Structure 1
């Protein structure tokens, strides 16, 4: 109910006043805002599972990534982009599922339907999800400094990714599933596709330099591409202006956990391989026994019986 809502919003730590107001006005979709942030973090951990920085979160801290995000690195850029995309994605999806009275399906269908299909189903209203993400995630980026400019840019890059990847989904109708008539609607991609795309943007992120300008409201910082030979970043690119720590050794100041005891891939020559992931310190190998189902037989009709086998695996971890 309306009267209970301020209590809930007030209990979320770390909200700036604008976010608190937003929370109270949009109380119904706050659960999906939270869900979206979580989705972004999970995707970050999937994308970076084999890297020295693997998007570790700290449970007992308001700054869930620790000091890592204090610096204007490409890791910070990725986290902002994926979290903003996550919020837009989750809000859009819950609106399409009809769980809220303030949003629903998208009725402005872009363009007349094509040959052999008509609009139907529930088109996902990504514009609304993006609007919510912009209002909520950008509320704290209101300073005239370089870091606010960077966060806003990367937040927007994350959201634009969703709008860029909207596509038609269709369902066939007709006798025995023949496609005489198709109904189609706009749908978001899998969130994994968003993660893959933004991970590429992380790898090709643009390094910027900070410029100071005098304006009537005082000093304002903006960002300019560091290397004029490269083409300047578009609104779809990620930007950063500080170099990343190497994440090899634990360092409380940079938020690096180091890579000791991380599992590494002994056959890989990439960053997930034992040479690079362990930063040249070498690795330990131990064997692990795991119970697995094996020798499965399908019985007519209809069940499967299996035996249990013990398989032995080598596990390699960084020294």
Structure 2
């Protein structure tokens, strides 16, 4: 396991996370604005009350669990990286905006109060559903992992879920307390989703779907002990899944996300918006499925109003007939081809014992980019 980040670096990450929380009407706690203007903050103490924009629930959480906040930030970063991996061949490739607090641009963002607000349709697409789910899952995952590796004194290994051991094995190691990680994600990520509108209802649902992807895939992990590779003693513990499997699962949920319809109801507290499936003949979504209520743009051309960066100059796969192929990714505009020379390792030889020596070869590759 990799060593923890230095305290100064983790404090910087925390500040980058929290300064953005006050921005806009969506949970900007995803918005790790890795900007040079924060470079001097890393060595300063973190005071929750001095961070603008925290709602009372988040402020209480920050004060009570200050040492967990770097793990929350690490989980957001993990979610961003996984989002970019899952959508690397799509027209929307989870591109981040480095010069703004909103890392995903208008796909998720309401513009600041000093600017013309974007209509709600830009906030309720499949892409937004996925990002909510993967970021919430990332927070739960990272906090759980930090508890298990001893990075935090407020949590640790899970001892309450142990049932009688099975034949040939006994409990050992450190079972990961995923319930605590999910609790942290739920408490902090959902803190702003308390409005009686459709967007909050959608966000809460997708946040929870992301967290349930961890719970449903937590499994028993075992290790054998004994001489000469024997398994005289086998110890087992509860472990989270690999985060890539969570990303794969949520990507499948993105592809099969359920479109919803907004309904308004008059209640004692005023008008309340709820969501119902648009197509009642289809199987209704469960709490493990992703939901949305606005159609996505095609992301072919740059459009600041829809959050599209376009696909011009994106690398495409000439031989693929899928969305990453030049026909679909380039939206019918065609593609350019250039050659690149790259240095690769070649003629590798294994030497006993025990190293590999390689030569360096220059190879020519065709690179295809969208017009």
Normalised by the length of structure 2, the TM-score is 0.82
Instruction: Verify: 1:103 aligned to 2:143, yes or no.
Output: no
**1:32 corresponds to:** 71
| Deviation of 1:62 (Å) | 1.7
Q: Residues 5 and 141 of structure 1: is their aligned pair in 2 closer, same or farther, counting only changes over 3 Å?
A: farther
Instruction: Verify: 1:288 aligned to 2:351, yes or no.
Output: no
Q: Taking CA–CA contacts closer than 8 Å with sequence separation of 6 or more, which of the two structures ends up with the larger relative contact order? A: 1
Determine the C-alpha separation between the residues in 2 that align with 1:175 and 1:304.
29
CA offsets per residue over residues 79-133 of structure 1, 9 Å max, x none? 0000000000000000000111100000012432111111111000000000000
CA offsets per residue over residues 216-241 of structure 1, 9 Å max, x none? 11111110001001011000000000
Alignment of 1:65-76 (within 5 A): 65-69=104-108, 70-76=122-128
| Structure 2 residues without counterparts, runs of 5 or longer | 1-6, 8-43, 109-121
| Deviation of 1:6 (Å) | 4.9
Q: Residues 54 and 14 of structure 1: is their aligned pair in 2 closer, same or farther, counting only changes over 3 Å?
A: farther
| Deviation of 1:14 (Å) | 4.8
1:251–1:258 contact (8 Å) kept in structure 2: yes
Q: Residues 164 and 125 of structure 1: is their aligned pair in 2 closer, same or farther, counting only changes over 3 Å?
A: same
3-state DSSP of counterpart to 1:140: coil
Q: Which residue of 93, 117, 130 maps to 1:78?
A: 130
**1:222 corresponds to:** 274
| Deviation of 1:181 (Å) | 2.0
Determine the C-alpha separation between the residues in 1 that align with 2:288 and 2:304.
32
Instruction: Verify: 1:7 aligned to 2:47, yes or no.
Output: yes
| Alignment root-mean-square deviation, CA | 1.6
Q: Which residue of 361, 364, 371 maps to 1:309?
A: 361
Instruction: Verify: 1:50 aligned to 2:89, yes or no.
Output: yes
How many correspondences in the alignment?
316
1:5–1:27 contact (8 Å) kept in structure 2: no
**1:173 corresponds to:** 225
Normalised by the length of structure 1, the TM-score is 0.95
**1:200 corresponds to:** 252
3-state DSSP of counterpart to 1:159: helix
3-state DSSP of counterpart to 2:94: coil
**1:145 corresponds to:** 197
2:48–2:59 contact (8 Å) kept in structure 1: no
Determine the C-alpha separation between the residues in 2 that align with 1:145 and 1:85.
23
Determine the C-alpha separation between the residues in 2 that align with 1:9 and 1:248.
43
1:10–1:20 contact (8 Å) kept in structure 2: no
Determine the C-alpha separation between the residues in 2 that align with 1:31 and 1:8.
13
CA offsets per residue over residues 238-267 of structure 1, 9 Å max, x none? 000000011000000111000000000000
**1:162 corresponds to:** 214
